Amino acid sequence: MFDGSAQKTFDSSGTEYSNDTAAEIYANEDSTTFLNEINPGNQVRGRIIFDVPKSTKLTAVELHDSPFSNGVRVALS
């Protein structure tokens, strides 16, 4: 089950930013990403929205399959 609130992003100083769930609902109104079960072999597309200061340079995103997983950190370039 995809849960946007389990996803995080980071800037170069290590500051962590959480997602904006309300913005995601509007940004994905034609999608089935919000708390929908995704069975093995299936995929969905959607947007994860982070509200960060305009001058922020994001360097990584941490993706989780649940709020309790260790997740995987992906560098942004």
Say what the pTM is: 0.80
- Residue 23 gets the label, from left (phi > 0), alpha (psi -120 to 50) or beta, of alpha
Spans of all domains in the chain: 4-75
Amino acid identity of residue 5, one-letter, is: S
**How does pLDDT run along the chain (77 residues), one tens digit per residue?**
778 889 999 999 999 999 998 898 888 887 766 677 788 898 888 899 999 999 999 999 999 988 888 999 999 98
The per-residue pLDDT for 34 is 66
